[in-house]
Amino acid sequence: MSAPRGDGTREAGGDGPAGALRIAAAVRAGERSARSVVEEALSAVASGDSDLHAFVTVTADAALAAADEVDRAVAEGRDPGPLAGVPVALKDNLCTRGVPTTCASRILEGWRPPYDATVVDRLAAAGAVAVGKTNMDEFAMGSSTENSCFGPTRNPHDRTRVPGGSSGGSAAAVAAGFVPLALGSDTGGSIRQPAALCGVVGMKPTYGLVSRYGLVAFASSLDQIGPFATSVADAAHLLGVIAGHDRADSTSLPDPDPRPDFAASVGRGVEGRRVGLCLELVEGCAPDVVARVRRAAEDLEAAGAEVSEISVPEFRLGLSAYYLIAPAEASSNLARYDGVRYGLRVDGPDVAAMNTATRTAGFGPEVKRRIMLGTYALSAGYYDAYYGKAQRVRTLMVEAFARAYRQVDVLLGATAPSTAFPIGERVDDPLAMYMSDVCTIPSNLAGHPAISVPYGAGDDGLPVGVQVLAPALGEELLFSVAAALEAAAPAGGGPGAAAPVGSGGPEGAGR
């Protein structure tokens, strides 16, 4: 049987999900219409998403109108863009003009942004077609997509398991074959961890490489937008579309001259590359995950890389530092939700009572937990002891990365400590939930790029992701190593391996 196509249909004789590049090439050549591609994607969402709950909003009319515009461009001989007609899903913390943008929180109920995020504009300019907004942990705070006012998203490989978080809806949408591409945001692993648990490619770019204008902020010094895809090549092409300087974002990096060609780096191989298997990035992980990472190291060595073990002890400090820095920044960023300017408003006898009632009703338990933690860390008398010390640890992390990259070109490790865990298992154990990001946080603290590549299945048959980390602005190197991993990956757990959309998964559980 052929594998599910990335646009929700099946590719005759294909060996996996039809990627964005093949769809775009067919549309550009006039072999397929963008409307037919988008109609198939919308049909797949309509028939299968009641089971998964990957989407919170589907923009069918706007998507079809955009697809028709792509078809007009093709018919008139105009360039429809490199992603012509490719359906894309957007995490619901990316502003979209006139479309509800909720961050999966009641406090943004009814808010429709008057503008598009820069990445949304760039996707449209490239001919991609946004089909909807995906579910997420509220304000991107979580590792399971259970902290959502809309309810949890389920893993396409097993409906009783989480898809990871906070970008779980985007990861699930790609894994289920609804769309071949999606965007998420990564503050402490929120692209890579769900990519690993859902068996798709997920990549966090260098901080500042992709504009954050129009991304609803969680922790501004850590947030970064990045791609989900069914292949490394598709992820590289999507990054090429959304990357680049943006005057609207003060943290946006200037464009280098010449601009990097991420797509071209995919076929460069790893001959002579120095790969460091980072011991701290497998420490404490499940044995089946560790086995996959070590198998990946062996496969890279067989492909011509020089592989050695390396220790970066400072990585053990990452989780503690992150859970002071990120909540502190969130405490500041979320102060703007006061019931006055937009979103939910719960009336009270005076302004202070109205603010309190609005925030009490509007924020969920995890967001409240992090606001309180962050406010405490920033309070008088504790700032230096907590937030200031965490920032010094962050500097140590950056210095540790620099030392490591003098010995090796890239680091290799696990993306997540385990395969997807059961829904509800860690909801009442915040520390266990936070540990889900222990392998991904170091790259966010340093602002470096990293990618998760599906690498077979664990002992339970669920996907395992292997992570590659590179120095700042090392995306081309990152994609070349990731592509070599992808070529060597064992069967099972990757895109197209999910249970049929609409089924109950291995356990027969529906939503």
Contact, 417 vs 439, CB < 8 A?
yes
Longest dimension (CA), the chain: 70
The three-class DSSP label of residue 446 is: helix
Say which of 143, 148, 166, 418 is annotated catalytic: 166
Q: List the beta bridge partners of residue 161.
A: 422
CA count, 13 A, side-chain hemisphere, 399: 7
Ordered strands of the 181-185 beta sheet: 55-58, 129-134, 87-91, 181-185, 225-229, 201-204, 450-457, 463-469, 410-414, 274-278, 306-310
CA 384/CA 355 separation, integer angstroms: 29
* Contact indicator for 172, 154 with CB cutoff of 8 Å: yes
Q: Is 204 one of the annotated active-site residues of the chain?
A: no
Paired tokens of 346 = 């719960």
Residues near 288 by beta carbon (within 8 Å), at least 6 away in sequence: 419, 458, 459, 460, 464
Count Cα atoms within 13 angstroms, Cβ side, for 328: 21
- By DSSP bridging, strand 55-58 and strand 129-134 are antiparallel
Annotation says 320 is catalytic: no
CA dist., res. 13 & res. 250, Å (int): 48
Residues facing residue 309 across a β-bridge: 277
* Separation of alpha carbons 330 and 245, rounded Å: 25
Distance CA 77, CA 98 (A): 30
Is 128 within 8 Å of 108 (Cβ atoms)?
A: no
Q: Looking at this protein, which amino acid is placed at residue 443?
A: S
- Given the residues 91, 105, 252, 452, the one annotated as active site: 91
**Among residues 167, 190, 252, 331, which one is catalytic?**
190
Structure tokens at 83: 């992603």
Report whether 464 contacts 493 (CB < 8 A): yes
166 is catalytic: yes
Point out the residues that are catalytic.
91, 166, 190
